[in-house]
Structure 1
Amino acid sequence: MSTTRQLPMPTVPYQALEEDLRRRVRGEVRFDAGSRGTYSTAASNYRQVPIGVVLPSTVDDAVNAVAVCHEHDVPVLSRGGGTSLAGQCCNIAVVIDWSKYCTRLVSLDTERGTAVIEPGVALDNVNDELAAYGLMVGPKPSTHVSCTIGGMIGNNSCGSTAQAYGKMAESVRKLEILTYDGLRMWVGETSDEQYDAALAEGGRMAEIYRGLRDLRDRYLAEIRTRYPDIPRRVSGYNLDSLLPENRFNLAEALVGSESTLVTVLRAELELVETPAASTLVVLGYPDVTVAADAVNDVLPHEPHALEGLDDRLIELEHSRGLAEKALRELPEGSGWLMVEFVGEDQDEADRKARALIDDLGRGERAPSTAFLNDPEEEENLWEARESGLGATAYPPQGPETHEGWEDAAVPPQRLGDYLRDFRELLGRYGYGAAALYGHFGQGCVHTRIPFDLMTAEGIARYRAFAEEAARLVVAYGGSLSGEHGDGQSRGELLPVMFGDAIVSAFQECKALFDPDNRMNPGKLVHPDPLDTNLRQGAGFRPWEPSTHFAYPEDDHRFSRAANRCVGVGKCRGEENGVMCPSYRATREEEHSTRGRARLLFEMLNGDVITDGWRSEAVYDALDLCLACKGCRSDCPVNVDMATYKAEFLSHHFEGRLRPMPHYSMGWLPLWARLAAIAPRWVNALAHTPGLSRLLKAAGGVDRRREIPLFAEERFSDWFARRGPNSTGELGTVLLWPDTFTNGFHPAVAKAAVEVLEAAGFAVEVPEKTVCCGLTWISTGQLDTAKRVLGRTLEVLRPQLRDGTPVVVLEPSCAAVFRSDLPELMHGDEDAHRLAGQTRTVAELLAERAPDWRPSLQGERRQAIAQPHCHHHAILGFEADRELLRESGVDVEVLDAGCCGLAGNFGFEQGHYDVSVACAEDKLMPAVREADENTLVLADGFSCRTQIEQSGSDAPLHSAEVLAAAVRGGEPVPSRPPPPSPLGKAAAVAGATTLVAAPVAFAARSLRRRFG
């Protein structure tokens, strides 16, 4: 079979198509290279660059888009969350992305327990709307934060709750569909009277109904004998739903058809009641195959969910630090079953769980057990299970893994024997390290296999394995796909499972709905070979540019880093975590971590994005990246878009004049030092009407932002005047005078000195000017950042050599030392020493003074805390929460995402609206709703500034709270006083300076660069 990669079709022949779409579609129409590159792949091995992308504003808008495509005879692909794993969501077609606008819960009938829903809404979002009524959609895939209702219908999605509620097909009552040639109708169960009415309608409706009845009758015997009778048969079309005993259910028949037959416009779903209480039992066995054997012992207890996982998955989760607390709840064993029971109250759920434990304890295969009925503990363990794909994608040792045979299903009663044979098959092909986990209660097994998809030999081995694996699963009476669908990965193998007759029936069904093969062609029916259109392939040779960062986790290659994303779309979630704030604000695929990763991949691939580092498409996508580093921790495969953005900006602007914010805010440490000469005058200048507007315009700062006030005395000057004041029985620490704390909020550093000295440390502060280079890194001025960091390492050399802890109060600066510095100056041992010696106050006290804690006077205080994104992503906030708890403060850590200011981002012109939208998503409502006696904590300067500039009182740094406990006072933030207005003469002089200084600085920069 050919393994050549299919190149994208040119856009020039589609100019008339684009013009017609723009004229007749009210939504967004995009044929630019950036948009096409963003949608070139999903979560599969495949890549096909689309003709164009349409984001319809309404369902009727999508109908118009399909009509235009029909008139121009071009293919169409409906796409939901873009998380499909088998290649269904990429094609050389016009992609209709429903997920931005078509997200409405159209109607809800609580008495009947049904809802009509548009296809673009994410599952978690619609369940949030339904929660007030005690209802939810039954199936819950692991991608529930981002998968859409339309995508779930297209794939016949399942998830862990399918154990109780069945596949998506069982939840669909009716579908409003559109054929490629324009027939629009609602379909569902079809009585004889309804069938006769359809025939009486005549035209295409009669043709389809008559054709389907005839097809069913001709293939009746094969349908009844060749479809495996198992809970998780997802492969193929659901022709069995057309059988008389299934009431000729056309809606069910179309579920799982992967956009190859019709476009789904709306769906009427049957909802289920939200469980009132749940209990999780974890059963431990010597091996995952023994755990699979035990499924037969568990099923009679009718669990709500029954999942399996092996020791390889747990090993990988541990190695990547995923859900560490949850994994500690696992009982002894090397293979586990997670068994969930639900009830009308906690007692009922607990009784069911204990009955299972008692029953299994009497058997020959008595497992070790763990009993969890605390909702937080249960959720943690479910998150660990749902992190399976991320944990297995990039094992610490060994090659990357891929889909391709990741969701086969067999009868649950035969699962253990199947897994033994499947393991033997993996071993014969050299794929033995694959983890095995999945929905064991329904016989569905997930895995990612280290296929070599970049050499002809490896691709041939992949093909041979897939063919043999198909024969194995069919021998067990199973299905090639038990959840993810066929797409291109398994479409070619369907004859092995169904035989030639049923495959012919699939082809006839396809021809009936889509006679010209324009609906997602090459998938499921008449499929492209499974080893073509590969995202990698034997000809894969991406550009390997030289870079500033080392990318040690990616073989020191930027191309591997840019290809790290596996497409699960967690960055498109809106529920929790930090990533991706810009996507939450814009709902644009290119503003998700995944979309940006796709564009970087295309930039290195070079056939869609052809201008490399100079690409405006990539720049535009990265422009709204807040560099929050949330993806570094929240992404299942730890894509680090903040680092990629800094790398890109450094090359994009090499030898060119940069945007003004790169000079104003990117060089903030320098301006802060200059402002320290006359801070009152600078503050007055920056806040005098007219001058303030001029200053903001000159620096590229949004006019709606207030320029932060410089402190009247920097912390470093105060400390030099005051000197150390402790005997240091616990040793010496170096307190880092970061630009933000030193120049703007020195009271925070003074508070830290008070705390550290009270704990028994001698505090030192660098005698020379130092900087972590953060502002230069975030603006991509990496050569300058390296020079700044090099000087810093020289100044700190004595402390680095004697192991002195470096205490950093600003989380973003601490994160630079922990992550950016060792990757930017990889191989410099002092850089790695500083990374290892950097501590927060909480970390230092936990390590060096575990028995000392200050305590606030009176009753325990309540607080809400907004962790800085870099604190969340790199440092972790647990030590801080525990220290505050031990000091008398009960902290609710807000799960509010990024504050939206993110250093220079929220100040820059063009970013204000997104910045405020991020803050108003969850953070500011939580701050405003807090009780007046509740402390508001924010260790990050950006977070404190955003909260203040959003109209709330100044938040506290945790060091200020601890210092108040030391002195027995009330925690009160200390900020610079408001400035006095300038006189007219001073204002004129200041205006001249404001205009001249940035221009002179830019001119000097250009002279230095070009001579």
Structure 2
Amino acid sequence: MPSDMSKLEQNLRRSLKGDVLFDRASRGRYSTDASIYQIEPVGVVVPRDEADLALAVDVARDAKAAILPRGAGTSQCGQTVGDALVIDCSKYLREIVGFDKNKSQVTVQPGVVLDQLNAWLKPHGLWYPVDVSTSAQCTLGGMAGNNSCGSRSIRYGNMVHNVASIDALLANGQRARFGSARPEHMPEGVRAIADKVAELAFAERDEIERMYPRVLRRVGGYNLDIFFPQSERPYTTDNSVNLAHLLVGSEGTLAVTERLTLNLAPLPKHKTLGVVNFPSFYKAMDSAQHIVKLNPAAVELVDRTMIELARANPAFRPVIERALIGKPEAILLVEFAGEEREAQLRDLTRLVELMADLGLPGSVVEMPEPRPQSELWEVRKAGLNIMMSMKGDGKPVSFIEDCAVPLEHLADYTQRLTDVFGKHGTRGTWYAHASVGTLHVRPILDMRREGAEKMRAIAEEASALVREYKGAFSGEHGDGLVRSEWVAWQFGPRLTKAFETVKDLFDPENILNPGKIVRPSRMDDRSLFRFKPGYESIKYEPALDWSAWNVQTDPVTEISTAPGTGGDLAGGFAKAAEMCNNNGHCRKFDAGTMCPSFRVTRDEKHLTRGRANTLRLALSGQLGSEGLRSDSVAAAMDLCVSCKGCKRDCPTGVDMARMKIEVKSARRMAKGLSWRDRLIGATPSMAPWARRLPWLFNAAWFVQSYLGFAKQRRLPQWRGDTFLSTTDVDDGHGEPTVVIFADTFSNNFEPEILHAARRVLAAAGHRVAVAWPTLGAPALCCGRTYLATGQVERARAEARRTLNALLPFAQKGVPIVGLEPSCLFTMRDEFLAMGLGEDADLVAAHAVLFEEFLAREQKAGRLDLALRPLSERKALLHGHCHQKAFGAMSAVQEVLSLVPDLAVTPIESSCCGMAGSFGYEAEHYETSIAMAELSLLPAVRKADAGTLVVADGTSCRHQIADGADRQAIHVAQVLERALA
């Protein structure tokens, strides 16, 4: 690091209470956003409070370092990357600091997430209606910086229409409030700037009238038009000049936001949704101009590509299929909202009639109920990530994404732009805001190779179309690195000069996010790309099979090919890490399963995105020569609990749990194993000895702290009466109809669960067999503990033994039932990545959880299980992470619903925090408990003594016992108690 930057780091550490991050890995993680660019910052500051924020600006200015304010880092045009001191406002500056219900206004710090705010406002009957698709993770400071819009802008307008005032820090350190104050009420320094900006605007009034696009979706350049009331601003009755609107859309180039005061809207009481299915994309675009005359709140497009990608995602498939009639080329989501339900239902009827008049009778799927509406909107909101889930080097690239054209030209514009794509050997993916003529279109380009040249050529032809239709080149996501070059094209030389003058008035030393909006670099400067010239992955032989990511897809024919299956990470593991597009879905406010470590730390390092970026940097040699073995990678993976939440929740399919196995393997081969990891991995092989001498092995508490286990924990107790030692091979009544896989944890620590499952299955009329190892061999094991410690070869050996024992059942079509989710899903997942051949595929296809099997039998009408009510009439259900990740939670609820009069309440929780050995490890104990305290443990403590607590994971049950002093039971035990 240069000495002047080292001095900057020292001064920041002396001055700030917050985090100061200048290490190579941290700077690498902040070098990207959701764009195609990568620029390493000089350092990162995470201010603890507003005083810290001001100090960071002062210290950086004194050091003549550029300053780059950043929220969630989800910008798609490169606004939040640069050669500057990044100030991350998302961790601590996320307080709601003021609320006036009568005025319908709220004041927030810039790091508040939109969904966080709307959840807080909901009890008051209000919401902030600029509902962008990244609402679960984007910050309001970032939204103001980009002048965000959202799906319902046709009714509520853009960010600029909904900001009352902004409290900001100027480049010189002065605090200032920008709003509707009269000049005489402004501080002297602010008034001087305001007067000069106003003078400039009035001098260029004719040029503003001539050059500013007459469309709602215009977010390029600076908002000098705020000085002249416009008929295109129907979203406010106040036509006074509001200087806050000059800062909105300025991308941090004019000031650093401390607080925002926002105008709120009443929360609509009722909504209805009509999904219009179209036989052609052109017809969908041509119909939008007619649909908007029905006064909908939103009209959103989903094209065929997005439909098919959504269908390929297990989480989205059932949702999208409910919205389809046949095989449409596009669908439009048309929402009506208001105070009266009957009025919304009438609007839905009018939509059906309109589509019949337009020649498409029977094309509308009506969704009047809230739940299917919200589920489908979640698919639409995930549109960008769904699009980016394409495997291979070709990806949809954002650069003409938000060009906005008048609605009457939308169909012709999209058709002609499609022809442009075909001319350059690619195609586009389309979705988003048909209501306002702004479609998110991304041509599929390979930015490692010829993508830059094609990007330039397509941008030039697209710009000509936009000019012909009198549209806006930048219609929603701002300018950033990819579109600032086009500001001069859009506004002409006089206004470009005016924008430069505005920048100089606010920031004379050019330290605030330089190179954005004015005086930009070229959009196709490859030295700024994430995949720079010469980018390549290091050579590395992976322990697992990553060949599924070694795919190339022709952007026109959509035919995928796999050019190789070897260990070169350029075609495997590296590409799996590169699937992360940095959109930050893992940061979402209502996190569900993903990402538990980020939820408790709020650190970029401990986030799925942060880990994927760390891996990408390591695998391309940007973190030094050690690659996956490095301390930086180990630190990033340290708090990953292998919950598999990202496997399901990440729309691009980043499976960090599997990646952690790869990292652990590389680290083990380089550094060896600790004694603790040896013991954890060897759990299956210790079992025969522990069964004979349980008292000896259970005395491990005496030395557990010396081995690195948390002294606050009660270690699981080995049992002498294991399931396999106290049960028969089968029931002796012919061929089995089901076989039980006795996993290491259930067999040795909680055999009563396996006994309960066997009794329930027998009571349901099944002939139950038990999977046994070959004579004299240890009990069967999935190898989970070996995988968790990076011992992939030993895990592979265990997997082969287990496959050999289970294969005869699978070949006969006998279901293989498991009780421990992490073990069962190892068969369905990791077994397929260990090079075990077709036998693994066959066994995986027959492996089911106990509750999945019963739910399947019930659905098929084959389940005959007589159950009686329990003395307990209520149950709390906590889902194991892998149950959630593999979509098995509905099966648990269906099975529990078989118990008469039992009211089941699922706990809305992420990982319990125990996660195998993670919560037992001394250095992870506090993080483990913090994860559990987010929602799980408080919910259990609130439950009365007469409420059952149900948790199918052994780790979950131990966490509940340690943290809430309650005994949770497995669903099999619940059903056993209810047997009539």
Q: Aligned AA for 1:343?
A: G
Contact 1:11 1:51 in 2 (8 A): no
1:225 aligned to 201, 205, 210, which one?
210
Contact 1:288 1:309 in 2 (8 A): no
Residue aligning to 1:205 = 190
Q: Aligned AA for 1:168?
A: M
C-alpha distance after superposition, 1:103-133 (max 9, x if no partner): 1111111110111110011111122222222
Q: Does 1:453 align with 2:447?
A: yes
Partner-residue secondary structure (3-state), 1:164: helix
Between stretches 417-426 and 62-71, larger displacement belongs to: 417-426
Residue aligning to 1:975 = none
Correspondence list, 1:826-841, <5 A? 826=835, 828-841=837-850
| TM-score normalised by length of structure 2 | 0.92
Determine the C-alpha separation between the residues in 1 that align with 2:447 and 2:81: 18
C-alpha distance after superposition, 1:670-699 (max 9, x if no partner): 33332111224543x24xxxxx3x422133
Residue aligning to 1:872 = 884
Residue aligning to 1:712 = 720
Contact 1:285 1:367 in 2 (8 A): no
1:420 aligned to 415, 430, 436, which one?
415
Q: Closer, same or farther in 2 for the Cα pair 1:677/1:145, shift >3 Å?
A: same
Between stretches 144-153 and 915-924, larger displacement belongs to: 915-924
Residue aligning to 2:897 = 885
Determine the C-alpha separation between the residues in 2 that align with 1:726 and 1:227: 84
Residue aligning to 1:909 = 922
Contact 1:853 1:886 in 2 (8 A): no
Partner-residue secondary structure (3-state), 2:829: helix
Contact 2:857 2:863 in 1 (8 A): no
1:571 aligned to 586, 595, 600, which one?
586
Correspondence list, 1:503-522, <5 A? 503-522=496-515
2:762 aligned to 754, 757, 763, which one?
757
Q: Closer, same or farther in 2 for the Cα pair 1:146/1:670, shift >3 Å?
A: same
Residue aligning to 2:558 = none
Correspondence list, 1:422-821, <5 A? 422-432=417-427, 434-455=428-449, 457-532=450-525, 533-555=528-550, 557-683=572-698, 685-686=699-700, 692=701, 694-719=702-727, 722-725=728-731, 727-728=733-734, 731-758=736-763, 759-767=765-773, 768=777, 769-821=779-831
Contact 2:311 2:321 in 1 (8 A): no
| TM-score normalised by length of structure 1 | 0.89
Determine the C-alpha separation between the residues in 2 that align with 1:372 and 1:933: 39
Residue aligning to 1:195 = 183
Contact 1:667 1:775 in 2 (8 A): yes
1:854 aligned to 865, 868, 872, which one?
865
Contact 1:728 1:760 in 2 (8 A): no
Partner-residue secondary structure (3-state), 2:797: helix
Residue aligning to 1:384 = 379
Contact 1:854 1:962 in 2 (8 A): no
Correspondence list, 1:112-127, <5 A? 112-127=103-118
Q: Aligned AA for 1:761?
A: R
Q: Aligned AA for 1:826?
A: G
Determine the C-alpha separation between the residues in 1 that align with 2:974 and 2:142: 48
Residue 846 of structure 1: how far off its partner (Å) = 4.9
Corresponding pairs, count: 939
C-alpha distance after superposition, 1:861-892 (max 9, x if no partner): 54332221112113532333333334545544
Q: Aligned AA for 2:495?
A: I
Q: Aligned AA for 1:377?
A: P
Determine the C-alpha separation between the residues in 2 that align with 1:155 and 1:294: 29
Contact 1:471 1:496 in 2 (8 A): no
Contact 1:544 1:559 in 2 (8 A): no
Residue aligning to 1:950 = 963
Unaligned 5+ runs, structure 2: 231-238, 551-570
Residue 20 of structure 1: how far off its partner (Å) = 1.0
Determine the C-alpha separation between the residues in 1 that align with 2:218 and 2:361: 31
Q: Aligned AA for 1:667?
A: A
Contact 2:690 2:720 in 1 (8 A): no
Determine the C-alpha separation between the residues in 2 that align with 1:898 and 1:412: 46
Q: Aligned AA for 1:297?
A: H
Residue 383 of structure 1: how far off its partner (Å) = 1.0
Q: Aligned AA for 1:108?
A: F
- What RMSD in Å do the two structures reach over aligned CA positions? 2.2
Determine the C-alpha separation between the residues in 2 that align with 1:914 and 1:964: 35
Partner-residue secondary structure (3-state), 1:648: helix
Residue aligning to 1:972 = none
Between stretches 926-935 and 764-773, larger displacement belongs to: 926-935
Contact 1:815 1:875 in 2 (8 A): no
Determine the C-alpha separation between the residues in 2 that align with 1:400 and 1:962: 49
Residue 196 of structure 1: how far off its partner (Å) = 4.5
Residue 738 of structure 1: how far off its partner (Å) = 0.7
Partner-residue secondary structure (3-state), 1:337: strand
Q: Does 1:844 align with 2:853?
A: yes
Q: Closer, same or farther in 2 for the Cα pair 1:545/1:12, shift >3 Å?
A: farther
Correspondence list, 1:18-97, <5 A? 18-97=9-88
Q: Closer, same or farther in 2 for the Cα pair 1:671/1:447, shift >3 Å?
A: farther
Partner-residue secondary structure (3-state), 1:435: strand
C-alpha distance after superposition, 1:58-90 (max 9, x if no partner): 112111111111111111100001111001111
Q: Closer, same or farther in 2 for the Cα pair 1:318/1:396, shift >3 Å?
A: farther
Residue aligning to 2:568 = none
Unaligned 5+ runs, structure 1: 1-9, 687-691, 969-1011
Q: Does 1:216 align with 2:208?
A: no
Contact 1:146 1:573 in 2 (8 A): yes
Identity of aligned residues (%): 36
2:227 aligned to 242, 250, 254, which one?
242
Contact 2:338 2:344 in 1 (8 A): yes
Residue 562 of structure 1: how far off its partner (Å) = 1.6
Determine the C-alpha separation between the residues in 2 that align with 1:483 and 1:544: 41
Residue 240 of structure 1: how far off its partner (Å) = 1.0
Q: Aligned AA for 2:960?
A: I
Q: Closer, same or farther in 2 for the Cα pair 1:875/1:806, shift >3 Å?
A: farther
Residue 856 of structure 1: how far off its partner (Å) = 2.4
Determine the C-alpha separation between the residues in 1 that align with 2:816 and 2:11: 62
Q: Closer, same or farther in 2 for the Cα pair 1:932/1:378, shift >3 Å?
A: farther
Contact 2:740 2:818 in 1 (8 A): yes
Residue aligning to 1:985 = none
Residue aligning to 2:6 = 15
Residue 625 of structure 1: how far off its partner (Å) = 0.8
Q: Closer, same or farther in 2 for the Cα pair 1:855/1:151, shift >3 Å?
A: farther
C-alpha distance after superposition, 1:423-479 (max 9, x if no partner): 1122212222x3211111111101332112112x33211211122112222322222
